[in-house]
Structure 1
Amino acid sequence: MESFVKFTNQSQGRDRLFRATQYACMLLSYILENKAGREKLVMKLKHVESNMSSGRKLFRLGNMVHAIEASKASIQLSDPVLCYCLTAANLNRILYFTCDTVLWVRSVDLVSDISKEKWRHRASQCYFYSLLFHIARDLYVIRNCMEKERQCKQKGSDCGNGPTLNSDNTRLESHDSFLFILYLSLKNNPPLLLDTIKNLCDLLSPLDRLGFYKTNPGFIGICGLVSSILGIMTVANPQLKLKH
């Protein structure tokens, strides 16, 4: 109970719970949409989904400041690739939160002459570019981890937290050396694995909104729910969060 209270006291923790609820409702409403006699339930689920989305916008009002501070920190990184990817990602997050704030102002009718569709499109673009830079960072870190594992394998040593040689690894190694090194790299770096999966799942939503890859609310709901659960895990256990 103490850990749950500590989790919900964090703004990120509450946002992750709201986000998981939002995408769970999206998924359930899609599944039940064509079921006879479920019309009222579907409407309730869509209403809850809308409320969760509005609540998350309210929680995110101060996130622009955090994104600015993150940009200041990332620009100090000594690795030029990490510096570029993370700074560019954070700058796009700043623009995304700016668009998000404008949409919240419009949703509460503080300003009425704002085009929701135009600002949603801008927000989706900024979110999309931010995710692309985060994924580029993930791929760069994966490449570095694979190179480290390859060097250790050549020296016959173990660079990970556990044994690198067992029957499954031997079969995989004999099948494809690249897959074997990739497997070891992700196995020995759970934060990197979780962050990569999370960013790939998040990418589907802006791809759909921008028209690059049209899908259905059910698939977006599944990916959003998986991403939210991974986000909850990283907030609950900071050791699972990728540092740079």
Structure 2
Amino acid sequence: MDAFTRFTNQTQGRDRLLRATQYTCMLLRYLLEPKAGKEKVVMKLKELESSVSTGRKWFRLGNVVHAVQATQQSIHATDLVPRVCLTIANLNRVVYFICDTVLWVRSTGLASSINKEKWRMWATRHYYYSVLLSLVRDLYEISLQMERVVRDRAKRGKSLSQDPLGYSVAKDETEWLQSFLLLLFRSLRKHPPLLLDTVKNLCDILDPLDQLGIYKSNPGVIGLGGLVSSIAGIITVACPHMKLKTH
């Protein structure tokens, strides 16, 4: 109970719970819509989803400050690729939160002349850039982990060409794919924070891909992706050692 209290006392913790609720509603609504007699339930889920989405905007009002701080921290990363990817990603998050704040002002009626669709598209585009760059950083980190696994096996005196698990150059595409997937599995198993961050970013990118028309999906897929991403976010907030660190 104490751990849950500490978690909910954090702004990020409350936002992750609300986000999980929002996407759960979206997923359930998608699953129930085709079924007869579920109209009232679907309507209630839609209203709850809208209310939670509005509530989350309140929690995000100060996130532009956190994004600026994250940008300042990422500039000092020692490795060039994470430094460039995270810095530009965080700058895009700053712009995203600015756009999000403008949309919140528009929703309150304080500035009804604001072009809602234009600002929403800008917010979605910069959010997409941020997640995409974070994914590039994840792929770079995965490649480093895979290289470490290969080197570690070589140090134990097992030649790559004699490796029974298939790290040698495959003779056909099936063997090569099996070897690559096995190496990827072993690499991510040794680095759970990297696995968690990669899964989170892969799920996060589904929504902007759909909104920008790059890859059309449906509310069910987006809802499931958002729920998985929210659970990953809850884990990183509740267990800070599971958050991928910047080196």
Give the TM-score, by structure 1 length.
0.92
Q: Is the 8 A contact 1:205 1:220 kept in 2?
A: yes
Q: Is the 8 A contact 1:86 1:133 kept in 2?
A: yes
Q: Is the 8 A contact 1:60 1:97 kept in 2?
A: yes
Residue 184 of structure 2 corresponds to which residue in structure 1?
Answer: 182
Taking the aligned partners of 2:21 and 2:236, their CA distance within structure 1 comes to: 17
Correspondence 1:215-234 to 2 at 5 A: 215-234=217-236
Residue 160 of structure 2 corresponds to which residue in structure 1?
Answer: none
Post-superposition shift, 1:172? 6.2
Listed as ranges, the gaps of 5+ residues in structure 2 are 158-162, 169-174
Residue 156 of structure 1 corresponds to which residue in structure 2?
Answer: 156
Residue 171 of structure 2 corresponds to which residue in structure 1?
Answer: none
1:192 equivalent among 186, 194, 200:
194
Post-superposition shift, 1:190? 0.3
Post-superposition shift, 1:79? 1.2
Q: Residue type matched to 2:146 in 1? A: M
1:14 paired to 2:14: yes
Tell me: CA distance 1:57–1:179, structure 2 relative to 1, closer, same or farther (3 Å).
Answer: same
Taking the aligned partners of 2:186 and 2:226, their CA distance within structure 1 comes to: 27
- Cα deviation digits, residues 205-226 of structure 1 (max 9, x gap): 0000000111110110011111
Taking the aligned partners of 1:215 and 1:142, their CA distance within structure 2 comes to: 27
Q: Is the 8 A contact 1:173 1:179 kept in 2?
A: no
Post-superposition shift, 1:171? 5.0
Taking the aligned partners of 1:55 and 1:37, their CA distance within structure 2 comes to: 29
Q: Is the 8 A contact 1:96 1:126 kept in 2?
A: yes
Taking the aligned partners of 1:136 and 1:86, their CA distance within structure 2 comes to: 9
Post-superposition shift, 1:114? 1.2
1:130 paired to 2:135: no
More displaced, 20-29 or 35-44? 35-44
Residue 205 of structure 2 corresponds to which residue in structure 1?
Answer: 203
Taking the aligned partners of 1:154 and 1:178, their CA distance within structure 2 comes to: 17
Residue 110 of structure 2 corresponds to which residue in structure 1?
Answer: 110
Correspondence 1:25-36 to 2 at 5 A: 25-36=25-36
Residue 68 of structure 1 corresponds to which residue in structure 2?
Answer: 68
Identical pairs, percent: 60
Instruction: Name segments (4+ residues, structure 1) moved above 3 Å.
Output: 169-177
Tell me: CA distance 1:146–1:171, structure 2 relative to 1, closer, same or farther (3 Å).
Answer: closer
Residue 162 of structure 1 corresponds to which residue in structure 2?
Answer: none
Residue 98 of structure 1 corresponds to which residue in structure 2?
Answer: 98
Q: Residue type matched to 1:18 in 2? A: L
More displaced, 185-194 or 38-47? 38-47
Post-superposition shift, 1:177? 3.5
Q: Is the 8 A contact 1:89 1:129 kept in 2?
A: yes
Q: Is the 8 A contact 2:30 2:220 kept in 1?
A: yes
Q: Is the 8 A contact 1:25 1:48 kept in 2?
A: yes
Listed as ranges, the gaps of 5+ residues in structure 1 are 158-168
Residue 57 of structure 2 corresponds to which residue in structure 1?
Answer: 57
Residue 166 of structure 1 corresponds to which residue in structure 2?
Answer: none
The RMSD of aligned alpha carbons is: 1.7
Post-superposition shift, 1:113? 0.7
Give the TM-score, by structure 2 length.
0.91
Post-superposition shift, 1:181? 2.3
Q: Is the 8 A contact 2:165 2:179 kept in 1?
A: no
